Structure 1
């Protein structure tokens, strides 16, 4: 009983059933781990995490139903102690840095070996702040030193543009959240990022600057 309770409780979120089956088999072959649930999309992932509160969540970067940054924030809201390890076919430095800044504990390209996966799960448990990256050398060389600790100042993401388009229509945060199926807290986070990136001081200022730069259409 004590041994079972000491196992690392892992949940798997990926939209490919065969991939999930393979991950489950690898994890359940480890004496110190157990799989406590699976999901294939963002909605069911959030429901699963809220119910089982896994120690570690293996999260595919591009599951249906949500942007990965939204998924990470919403998972953190329902289970703050769950550590997230990202699984991805993308090897993009900017994406990796953004997600590390959001607190993920690992980023593994799907070509990573099973022992790298197991190491990432074990490293993600409490007691260490280290992050395991299993990506290409080219991707690592593309990361500027210290960039993970700096606020994003790059172009607006597709989700941020979507939020700003709705702001331009004079929609409230609650209305925007309902319209694009996010939490109101996530909408506020997107707005904060928009203000930082555009150097805006208000919603109106952000809309005006984005319209002037032809990033969005005029809300009127």
Structure 2
């Protein structure tokens, strides 16, 4: 379980998170929606310990993420994170990219790490791309490679930060389908997304963030189809006016 208690985050004089309170339950897919600058991506990075916080506490499986005594590198093994940019090593094959962290960080043997990498490439539908370089793969394939690389550390939680926003519309569907697969297998996920249809169809709960605060949270039916707060209603009206993406 992830517990977020009164979390505050500032960049200089700019308050980005203003007392966030959220729980993420085991097996849940929680979607974070909101306008750019509302704090969604920053919150993910705070959960993973990539950004310090100025107040409050984030607890993952009973461990306080930002406690100076916490071994953050060990804790991050529980928290796979996938960003908008793929960040694959261009000189390594897909198999080598996925096997690297298990071999270097988890100290798996070379043979074991490669077998694990092949398993996760198969899992995300890239089994036939093991020997391909990232430059030989489409954007959607590279994003699925990033997901396989995160899964190779066998995390308890997956954090996704706008993973389809850099993709051409026709490639979005294959990445979202991989995320739906993980949900069906019981993976606990926190997903920052601009794809309202994905949030409506796949999320157990949706949280709408506005100016660093959780403005509204509930089921997709409650937040997306029947929002109660004016700011949520305005945001969703703007989103509906945008061109539809292929999902």
* TM-score normalized by the length of structure 1: 0.35
* Higher RCO (Cα < 8 Å, 6 or more apart): 2
Instruction: Determine which structure has the larger helix proportion and give its number.
Output: 1
* TM-score normalized by the length of structure 2: 0.32
